[in-house]
């Protein structure tokens, strides 16, 4: 009976109900889009940093990260393998030997990052093979290199051509070699795309006269959310000779940027919810004022104030639920579309992103948690606002309400 009354009361003034529902719908729509864009931007940023190269966790010799030279490399031992294999969260190990070299082809010369790595393991971590745009993927047994697309354009070089590398090897030796370009990869980060060269690990160690030496080991995780726990456990077991670092420790400026943006999101969300709350509260006040005489009549003929208050509370919740469902329904296809077709920055904004090594795009994130969290917040607002009609009815004098 109460439910039937609630439903009929809502549509007695259909214009008011539609306007209120529309305001809640757009509020839910905007809040979901806002959080989805922010989460998508952070996910893309982390993916740029972690998924394309660094991995979530790396192990180095203690002090290497602050002074990245070959002399601070380390030799991989069986004891290290046993320590790492004990953790169920680690699904892959990618050994690397990295250094800066001078690459040359004809009259073109440029300083580049040389990454000696295991081709198959590297592919599992960063999907490097999927980034191949010409030529073939390199293998561990070949003395051939993969170069980034920007570098290939600068050198006017193609698959099958030869690139000369110069550098300083381990303990001051001179490193020089000539390698066939097996393939060209397109890396999402402009900075990487303009200066990365991949060479098989064994060939790199031979080139740098650093047999069995590694500069870092990237770890592939099954559950990235447990990254901090893993780092703490690894550090305890590895001791002071090595350093286990997650990507936030290796790149604190990016981590701080994400945290700062997270705070700004809560500020914007707070302002948005404040606007929603006052708009909704205004509608409730209007609804109560319009029906004051009706409430007085119902109380006079014997309707309990508790039932009347419950009816108004139910109207508040039902109209909010309608707005939430419509907001979620409208936002879902938009979120999916913007995930597949992300916003692309151009001009100065794009240059700023590229200078930091990030793709100048903002995709949305598709997550059930985003839809539910925003809906719960709006529903909580409705609960709080719904208390006012309950309080008002308890204070209402039926006779005075009828006279007014």
**Token reading at 376:** 């719960």
**Token reading at 108:** 């073109």
| Segment 20-43, tens digit of pLDDT | 888 788 888 888 888 888 888 888
| DSSP per position, 350-361 | HHHHHHTT--SE
Calpha distance 279→273 (Å, rounded): 10
Contact predicate 28/375, CB 8 Å = yes
Residue 197 pLDDT grade (very low, low, confident, very high; cuts 50, 70, 90): very high
- Whole-number pLDDT of residue 355: 63
- Whole-number pLDDT of residue 13: 77
Position 404 pLDDT exceeds 70: no
- Could you give the residue ranges of the DSSP H alpha helices within 172-239? 190-193, 201-207, 227-238
- Whole-number pLDDT of residue 354: 66
DSSP type of residue 116: E
Mean pLDDT in residue range 110-134:
89
- Whole-number pLDDT of residue 357: 62
Position 258 pLDDT exceeds 90: no
Lowest mean pLDDT among 50-54, 185-189, 193-197: 50-54
* Residue scoring higher pLDDT (47 or 117): 117
Encode 381-399 in three state secondary structure.
HHHHHHHHHHHHHHHCCHH
- Whole-number pLDDT of residue 265: 73
Mean pLDDT in residue range 115-123:
91
Mean pLDDT in residue range 165-194:
86
Position 69 pLDDT exceeds 80: yes
pTM to 2 decimal places: 0.67
Calpha distance 147→157 (Å, rounded): 10
- Whole-number pLDDT of residue 332: 92
Mean pLDDT in residue range 155-175:
88
- Could you give the residue ranges of the DSSP H alpha helices within 172-304? 190-193, 201-207, 227-238, 247-250, 252-290, 292-300
Calpha distance 392→387 (Å, rounded): 9
Contact predicate 96/155, CB 8 Å = no
| Segment 288-312, tens digit of pLDDT | 888 888 888 888 888 788 888 888 8
- Whole-number pLDDT of residue 205: 92
- Whole-number pLDDT of residue 99: 92
| Segment 346-393, tens digit of pLDDT | 777 777 666 666 677 888 888 888 888 888 888 888 888 888 888 888
| Segment 226-252, tens digit of pLDDT | 888 889 998 988 888 899 998 888 888
Q: Which of 179, 118, 104, 185 is nearest to 144 (CA)?
A: 179
């Amino acid at each position: 009976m109460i439910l039937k009354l609630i439903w009929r009361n809502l549509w007695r003034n259909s214009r008011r109900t539609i306007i209120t529902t529309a305001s809640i719908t757009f509020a839910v729509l905007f809040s979901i889009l806002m959080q989805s864009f922010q989460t998508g931007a952070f996910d893309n940023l982390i993916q740029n940093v972690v998924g394309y190269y660094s991995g979530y966790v790396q192990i180095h010799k203690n002090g290497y990260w602050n002074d990245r030279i070959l002399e601070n490399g380390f030799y991989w031992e069986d004891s290290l393998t046993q320590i790492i294999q004990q953790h169920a969260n680690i699904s892959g190990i990618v050994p690397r030997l990295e250094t800066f070299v001078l690459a040359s082809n004809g009259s073109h010369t440029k300083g580049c990052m040389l990454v000696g790595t295991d081709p198959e393991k590297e592919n599992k971590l960063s999907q490097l093979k999927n980034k191949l745009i010409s030529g073939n993927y390199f293998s561990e047994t070949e003395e051939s290199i993969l170069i980034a697309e920007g570098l290939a354009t600068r050198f006017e070089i193609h698959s099958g051509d030869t690139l000369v590398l110069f550098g300083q090897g381990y303990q001051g030796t001179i490193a020089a070699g000539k390698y066939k370009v097996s393939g060209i990869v397109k890396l999402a980060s402009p900075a990487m795309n303009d200066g990365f060269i991949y060479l098989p690990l064994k060939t790199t160690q031979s080139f740098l006269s650093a047999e069995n030496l590694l500069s870092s080991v990237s770890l592939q995780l099954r559950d990235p959310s447990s990254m901090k726990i893993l780092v703490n456990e690894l550090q305890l077991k590895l001791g002071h000779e090595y350093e286990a670092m997650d990507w936030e420790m290796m790149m604190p400026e990016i981590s701080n940027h994400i945290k700062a943006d997270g705070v700004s999101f809560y500020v914007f969300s707070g302002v948005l919810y404040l606007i929603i709350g006052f708009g909704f509260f205004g509608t409730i006040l209007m609804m109560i004022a319009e029906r004051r005489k009706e409430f007085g009549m119902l109380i006079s003929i014997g309707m309990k104030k508790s039932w009347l208050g419950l009816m108004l509370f139910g109207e508040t919740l039902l109209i909010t639920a309608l707005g939430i469902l419509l907001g979620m329904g409208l936002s879902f296809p938009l979120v999916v579309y913007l995930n597949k077709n992300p916003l692309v920055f151009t001009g100065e904004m794009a240059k700023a992103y590229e200078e930091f090594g990030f793709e100048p795009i903002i995709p949305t994130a598709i997550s059930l948690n985003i839809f539910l969290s925003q809906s719960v917040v709006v529903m909580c607002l409705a609960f709080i606002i719904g208390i006012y009609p309950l309080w008002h009815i308890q204070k209402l004098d039926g006779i005075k309400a009828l006279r007014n």
